[in-house]
Chain A
Amino acid sequence: MNGSKTLLTSYVSQPGEIKTSSGKTLRTDEMIINMGPQHPSTHGVLRLEIVVDGEIIVDVIPHIGYLHRCFEKHAEHMTNYQQVIPYADRMDYVAAMNMEQGYAVAMERMLKIEVPERVEYIRVIMAELQRIASHLVAVGTFGIDAGAFTPFLYAFHDRERILDLFEMTCGARLLYNYIWVGGLSHDLPPQFIDKAKEFCKYYRPRIKEFNDLLTYNEIFVKRTANVGVLPKDVAINYACSGPMLRASGVNWDLRRDDPYSVYDRFEWEPQVGKGEMGTVGDTWDRHIVRMREIEQSVNIIEQALAGIPEGNVQAAIPKRIRPERGEIYARTEAPRGEIGYYIVSDGSTTPFRVKARSPAFVNLSVLPEISRGAMLADLVLIAAGVDIVLGEVDR
């Protein structure tokens, strides 16, 4: 408890000129509202400094870093490359599998390892399951932000089933440390394939139900359509990725366009926003893209489950990881978009520098652009539509 006194600063607001933290002076009819870090709809610890004129947003200044956990510093301090994985897990804790996969892919490219086919299949299954789970969190919390609590719980119930599959496989529910450089920590448990197939069968009708309950509800549509429109060229300029980019009408998916793993063997299609309810690139598009991606993921999982080959999942795991001097930037498609790892090796067993290019960080940076002129209530939905996970925004 020592030092708690110094934490308190003055609680009295000074009269006079009020400035935003980026140094802009307010006009008289503007007012600053602080949303977060503790606010029901900032999904953790984002803080939005909002300048409003009435209810219309003049400017949004996101403040991040409340969850800056020094991933990059940790990566540099690990004694071997493998140990980075638990920390990579904790970056995007909603989609830990994808984070691990990205790291593993980067390291494998650096080490020039070929991983067995079974490993790739299992990774695809896991990554897609994780994608569903992650999107479920996204659309569920989206529902809460729109004021509908029930869809969230339905989504979480389905997610729970996926987590059961994960726990069966690797023993953890959220942070798996499952995908290793060159392989996996465990092989699939024997009942897994049946259970996963069962899940797919169970899950398809639930997607429709969810859509009926939330996605196509007129109130919801009216709330989200034409809100937070992000045009194509801005999306690219801001390097948005994932559903955010696709919703803006860019047909772009790293699984197809910068191929890794075995995605080319399955039949599926990247989903793009079409502006059915409003403009291309609005918040509703982002939502529907996620919903449709979930369906696609179920397709991929079913195909992968059918075609999974036999093999050893640990065959390619190097005993000791010591890459040559060099560097690599490898990117994969996480649920939120392009997760890229820039890894620099100095030839020793510990990484010299690991930089994670996290999708939500980049996607979030466009938030001020798309929320100007919207209303306070819209901002909540726009932010939810960006689908941030603070762990990877702040790293």
Chain B
Amino acid sequence: MAEEYNPYNPIVMDHFLNPRNMGDLEDADGIGEVGAAACGDIMKISLKISDDGRISDARFKTFGCGSAIASSSMATELVKGKTIEEALKVTNKNVVDALGGLPPVKIHCSVLAEEAIKAALEDYLKRHPEKAAMVATNSHSA
């Protein structure tokens, strides 16, 4: 019965109660941390990126509400296996859709997840300027 009465839909609840990819990555290739405790949410995303520019692993740590945790969990799932270019195109809307929806007042959590992913990728690209050039070219030609 308890399952019937939750503030979030079953997908969100599942990602909150059984978060995927929670934790850190040793030797992460890119780390992004966004948000602030004063605003109620901090998200940190760590990425492992292989030489061919594919995200081979992703982890998150989150201080925040249930939908912040679920959004981080889902975001890491969404980017795993994607190329940098593809991952850069993941939007908060993709996160919300994959979660089957979030309450209106919680949409900012998905925005934070998008920003954390982007921040982690930027961190990687800062450390690897050669890839940054390629990504820029590719996205221009796209």
Partners in one complex: no
Q: Give residues in A with beta carbon < 8 Å to B.
A: none
Q: Give residues in B with beta carbon < 8 Å to A.
A: none
